[in-house]
Structures are given as C-alpha cells and as structure tokens.
Structure 1
Amino acid sequence: MENEGNNKQESVELIEISIVEGNESKDGEVAAKTAKDLFSDFKASDESDYEPDEHDPTDTDSDEPLSKRVKVKKEKGTKSKKDANDNAAKTKKNYSQKYKKEWEAIPSVRPWISESVHGPHYFYCRFCKKDYKCGKTEIFKHMSAMKHKRHLSSTTQGVQQKFMFRGLLCPVVTPFVKSRAKEINYKLINPYAKFLKACGVKGILLNDVVGEGMSLTPDERKSLTEYWATLCKEKNQFLMVQIGGAPLKSVIDMAIHAEKLKVGAIVLMPDLYNRPKNHLDLIRYIKIISDYTEKIPILYHHYPKYTHLTNIDMTSFLLDITGEIETFVGVIYSTNDLQEGLTALTLNPDKYVCFMGTDEVMLGAVASGFTCIMGNSINILPKLAESICQCIKDGEIKSAQASQNLLKKALDNIYCNGDMVATLKAAISIVTNLPMEVVREPLQTVWEGTYTKMKNKLHEIGII
C-alpha cells in the first residue's frame, strides 16, 4: 500500500510538470515570449473579472454548442450527484481550451490579447496586465468586464490628452557658422523659424536626421532645445525633440531636460551602435528611458534606411508595447512602405498616432487616412505639401496628383546633387536666401558650382 501511495504521488507531480510547456532555460526560468516578461512578475488567474449570471446558460468557459449546454442544465436535477460530477469532469476534459492565434485577428480583441507565459491554457490582457484561463467565451466575458473597460478608457483618454498634434510636421535643419569648428549659428534660427511660421508650419521636429542631431553634443542638443522651445512658445508651434542616437545615459539626460522644458513630445531613435536585436529588445530600450520621465509623450522614429534596423517587426512591436509603456504614443514611419505604415495606422488608432515620414508617398498616405505627415520638403515647399492634403480632403484628385508630381520633380533635382542633408540645406538657402547650406563634418557642404546648378534648375521648373 505504501508503494502504491508513492506511485500516485509521483504521477501527480508529473501531471503538474506537464502543464508548463517548453520555453524553459537551463536554470528553470521561463524564456521571454512577450514584452511583459521583461519588466514585471505576472501571476496567472483562473478567475474571470466578469461576474457570471447563474441563470444564464451561456455563461461557461466551454465553447460547446448552446443547445447541448442548455440540455445539460435541464437534466441536472434528474441525475445523481455522482453522475453530475462525472459529466462535469468529462466536459472539462473534452472542452479545455488552448490559446488560438486566430483570436488575434478579431478586431475588437487584437489590440489587447496575447499569448501567456503560463502555458497554452491562458491568455494575457495587455490593458489589465493579467493572465486568464482560455476560452473564446471567456475572452468576450473579460472584454465586457468593467475592470477591462476602465483600463481601456483610462489608457485611451490619457494618450489623447498627452498628444493632441495632428497635421504637417517639419524636421528642421541646424545652421552652422562657416568656420573650422562649425559652431551652431543661432542668429539664423529666428529668421528661419519666422519663414516656417509664415508658411503655416505648425509642428517642429528638432535634432532629427536632417537636423544633424547625431553630429551634435548632448549639451548642444539641449541648448538648441531651449532656444526652439522659447520660439515655439512665442509662435504657438508644437515642438517635438529627437533625443536618440546617443549613449543611453545621455539620452536619459536629454529626456529629463525635454520634460522640464515641457516640450510637446520626445522622439526616439535606437542606439546606433548597440542596435536592438528584435522588437522586444527595442521595447526594453524605450522602457528604460520612460522610467526616468513621468508624463512626456514618447514616439519611436522608424527609419530603417538610416538605422539599418530592417529586422524589427513593427506590427509585433506595437502589439507588444501596448500596456507596457503608458507614455508611448506612436511611431514616425520614414519608409516608402505605405502598406506597413497603413497596418500600423489601423492597428490601434485610439491609442497610437502614426506619422508618415516620407515625401515620396505623401499623396498615398493622405488618401489612405493619415492625418499626421512629416516631410523634409516642408522646409522648402510647405505650401505644396499643404496643397496635397487639402486637395485630397476636397476630393480634387488630379490637383493633388499634380502637386505630388511637382514635389517629386523638385526633390529629384535636389537630391541628385549629393548627400540628402547637404543638398536639402542648400535648397533651403536658395529658397529662403539665408546661408543655411553649411553642414558639420563628416558630411560635406555642397560645392559652390553644384549650388549654382541646383539654383538654376529649381528656377527652371518653377520652384523659385
């Protein structure tokens, strides 16, 4: 009898072990599958936040057809207690639900559901930060729970209050003095800002790629932020500051500085040396920075041509970051892949804003429903970009196409003369008559002969 008892005990232990499937490290720790594994300890719950109605025959974890479930309830009183228990055990065994990937395709479920690290019989809610037992019925019960609705409502309202900007965003350049040191020429910033304001530009992005932010020291970037913050406050413009592309400690310092100045938002590019290996690594990087700030909205600038991060799945990124970083509000897409940007736009529009950040697909982006556009051309042809948006809004497709074609023609004649940043700054100098063409090494300023050639070409096509 004693041996028999030991055998039973061993069998129970084996059953318990089999519940946790795969994904364990050599040290017995469960490997990270989703973003939540990186930051907190989570416990699975066998209980729903939904309070079931005892008289409702549909309130069950099972996906068994309704007619069969109602029949079981009617026959309950005629069966013995033992038969009822046997029947319940059999039902539980036959209809124990496992997580199904197809549930993520349900529009109302997709923004918040994901797999659980506690095994295939659980699902995880990103909004509530909790794991629950699986079952399609149980998922919809949870979605109807007041707790889930409160989390959804508070998250959405918080994001809407934090980031209200919609429209055209201009990534501004940084003027330099014509000297060996190439110091920042602050005297040119005010007339440059006046030109943008006169052209109707309402959004400013500072220290990004065209602003040569990665060629500036952290102190220079903070000094520029202070200068532009004052100008934008005077001119009632929305200021966003790019703080990435520097050592993490400097990025955190710039984030804290930007929040103290009360800028509209901070924009992050990844560490350009220790690049993220996957989207979870990127989420962890953003999480570290957000832990040092409290309320400032954070956006990620997806620019694979510049960062060489081509292995980041942005759909998985936006799904897994949901509920993990409350101050994260969206993405800037500097890519010609309009379909990928559109997927991000429609993934969770109540929570995330999505900028299309390339001039070449501006027409397609606006026609597809993008209300936030960033373009380098806004530095020189803001009215043309505004015309594309307005013509689409008014249904004047041919006029919008004509504006897009002219914009493309202008940019082709600018960028064919060398590096994108250097040629863009030369074009700004031509249009504004301000000496903005100087770039900081290792970039090379456009040669004088090329500058004259570009000026003549822009005059020929009617830009100036």
Structure 2
Amino acid sequence: MKQLGLATEREETWLRQENKEINFSVIGQYVDYLINEQGVKNVFVNGTTGEGMSLSIQERKQLAEEWVAKGKDKLDHVIVHVGALSLPESKELARHAAGIGVDGIAVIAPSFFKSVNKDGLVAFLGEVASQAPGIPFYYYHIPRLTGIKICVEELLDGMMEQIPSFKGVKFSDTDLLDFGRCAKKNDKGQFSLLYGVDEQLLCALAMGATGAVGSTYNYFGKTNHLVLEAFAGADLNSAQKYQFCVQEFLSFVIAQGFGVPQIKVVMSLVSGIPMGPPRLPLSSASEEFVLKVKAKLESLKNCPNSLL
C-alpha cells in the first residue's frame, strides 16, 4: 500500500428531519468536492468527525458501502473505522468492510470499560483484525476521547507481532514524545504513521509522519497540501507560513468552542454541501458561531496565503 498524503475524516450528513436520518444522496457530490476542490483522494469513514459511534451498526454498514461505491475509480483509499464497544459488533463491521472491498480498516480502543492493559487491548485489536485478514489494519489512537492512554510505542511490538495485517497508526494525540518514539521504531518504513492533530501537522512531519488524517482537510485540504509540498521540498519557511494560516483559523474557532457541530458549520459554509445537524446528545452550533465564522472566512479570502 502506498503511503497516504492527506486523508479526511469525512463528516456525517444528516437530513433536517425529526428522525435525523442520514442523507446518502450527497455522498457522490462530497467525493467530487474533496477531489476537485481540495485535492484530497483518501477518506476515513465512520470516525470521530463522522459521528461513527453515534450510528447504528446498520447505518455504519450502509455508509461504508456508499463511500466505496461513490469513490470507486475516484478515491485512492477508503479506510473504514470498525471499532465498537462490543467485540462481536466490531468483528461484524470488520467482516462487512472486507466484503465490500475497502482499502483499510481502523479500530479505536473500546472506551466504556477503561481498565484495559496493553495485552488486553492488543488482543482486542487482533480479534477484530482477524475478521479481515487481507485488509490493512490501523490502530486509531485518540486518548482524549477514549480515556485509554497507553502509549502507542508500547503497543507497537505487540501489534506487529500478533496482527499480520497491521499497517499503521492513526495518531490523534499531541504527545510528540510518544509519536517520536513510534517514528524511531519505523526506521525502515514498515508501517504508516498517520497524524491526526491538524494544527501540528508540520511538527509531526518533522518527527516522521508519513501522512495525516484530519477533519480540517475537508475544507482546508489545498493549504495543507502546500504544507506537505513545502516540507518535502525542504522549504521550511513556506511550510511554516501555511501551517500558521491553518493555526490562525483554528485558534479563532477553538476560542468560540469547536467540536463536531461547529466543524459541520465550517464545512457547509466552505463547500456549499449541507452537512445538517449533529445527532443527539450533541447540539447544533449557535447562530452566533455561524455568524462569526462566516465573517472570519470572508476575511481570510483577502489575506495573503489564503486558506480558501
């Protein structure tokens, strides 16, 4: 499998109806937007930004099927998150993903019973991966949401030894010490290190990231590609300049309160594709947030190194 560049954690699209059903009809438009407007040809389905853990097993299967179908011959990689609190459900999702021809599966640490040790977590991951033995497997590390803070560097040996299909890690944490130790173990490039904290992309590249998966690549994919290109060309000054642009916007929205509902607003405004509201217990972004972000996005159009 070739190394990924940018991959986007695609956002769920909901109809504004009482039952908040998924709007499958816009996925084809979404695929074309990512490719043609943002230069992003890799997607990560049913992850955090996509509210995967708020969906039923059947909904997750339907979404995976739709992204594979609409992305056929267009997208380079469709990686599907198949993690769940229940081991049988996670295994079922892995079998389904393999059956529809995804390019990879990923699993988050189960987060209800948190007394997980290294051996128990690797065993859980191995059980899930075994249901899709021919599909590249990625561990999805996001301790801010799972509460599982076992260092990835500690897990790597077990995963490489016990999971034959192991191909890498989606590392969504700011612990660059742990990330750097993972990179040191990847001295031969035997697996992918996909970084998931968008505002620290340049730092992660310097530490050894081989790609990135994040929510902002939905709407700032072009600018983040410039970070990748400048870094690859040893033009640190330009890479910093583009990274600082991303950080400026993220600093602004984080100060307003930035989560999945707010990400949906930004994506809707930039892309013109209606993302709809989040699913409960999350609440829609406030009208005040919408107005502030509209103004901020408009101001960015006139700036040097514009994100838009």
One-letter code of the match for 1:360? E
1:166 corresponds to 2:4: yes
Q: With structure 1 as the length reference, what TM-score do the two structures score?
A: 0.62
Structure-1 separation of matches of 2:110 and 2:116: 11
User: In 2, are the aligned partners of 1:238 and 1:264 still within 8 Å (CA)?
Assistant: yes
Any stretches of 5+ residues in structure 1 without a counterpart?
1-162
Pick the aligned partner of 1:289 from 128, 137, 150: 128
Size of the aligned set, in residue pairs, is 301
User: In 1, are the aligned partners of 2:28 and 2:71 still within 8 Å (CA)?
Assistant: no
User: In 2, are the aligned partners of 1:354 and 1:372 still within 8 Å (CA)?
Assistant: yes
Offset at residue 386 of structure 1 (A): 0.3
Partner of 2:268: 429
Offset at residue 419 of structure 1 (A): 4.2
Partner of 2:35: 197
One-letter code of the match for 1:172? R
Structure-1 separation of matches of 2:232 and 2:3: 18
Offset at residue 375 of structure 1 (A): 2.1
Offset at residue 436 of structure 1 (A): 1.2
Pick the aligned partner of 1:211 from 50, 56, 72: 50
Partner of 1:346: 184
Q: Deviations over 1:264-319 (max 9, x none)?
A: 11000122212352111111101222233321111111101011112x13222112
Partner of 1:378: 217
One-letter code of the match for 1:313? C
Superposed, 1:2-81 pairs within 5 Å as: none
Superposed, 1:272-351 pairs within 5 Å as: 272-275=111-114, 277-310=116-149, 312-348=150-186, 349-351=188-190
One-letter code of the match for 1:328? F
User: In 1, are the aligned partners of 2:42 and 2:75 still within 8 Å (CA)?
Assistant: no
One-letter code of the match for 1:290? A
One-letter code of the match for 1:315? E
Superposed, 1:59-458 pairs within 5 Å as: 163-198=1-36, 199-275=38-114, 277-310=116-149, 312-348=150-186, 349-458=188-297
| 1:235 match: secondary structure | coil
Structure-1 separation of matches of 2:273 and 2:41: 21
Structure-2 separation of matches of 1:333 and 1:294: 22
Offset at residue 403 of structure 1 (A): 0.6
One-letter code of the match for 2:175? D
Offset at residue 213 of structure 1 (A): 0.1
Partner of 1:142: none
CA root-mean-square deviation? 1.6
User: In 1, are the aligned partners of 2:172 and 2:197 still within 8 Å (CA)?
Assistant: yes
User: In 2, are the aligned partners of 1:418 and 1:446 still within 8 Å (CA)?
Assistant: no
One-letter code of the match for 1:445? S
Structure-2 separation of matches of 1:352 and 1:460: 41
Offset at residue 395 of structure 1 (A): 2.1
User: In 2, are the aligned partners of 1:414 and 1:424 still within 8 Å (CA)?
Assistant: no
One-letter code of the match for 2:35? K
Structure-1 separation of matches of 2:28 and 2:85: 27
Any stretches of 5+ residues in structure 2 without a counterpart?
302-306
Higher RCO, 1 vs 2 (CA within 8 Å, ≥6 residues apart)? 2
| 1:381 match: secondary structure | helix
Offset at residue 216 of structure 1 (A): 0.4
One-letter code of the match for 2:139? Y
User: In 2, are the aligned partners of 1:279 and 1:313 still within 8 Å (CA)?
Assistant: no
Structure-1 separation of matches of 2:48 and 2:181: 25
User: In 2, are the aligned partners of 1:173 and 1:212 still within 8 Å (CA)?
Assistant: yes
One-letter code of the match for 2:207? S
Offset at residue 437 of structure 1 (A): 4.1
| 1:366 match: secondary structure | helix
Q: With structure 2 as the length reference, what TM-score do the two structures score?
A: 0.93
Q: Deviations over 1:74-104 (max 9, x none)?
A: xxxxxxxxxxxxxxxxxxxxxxxxxxxxxxx
Partner of 1:40: none
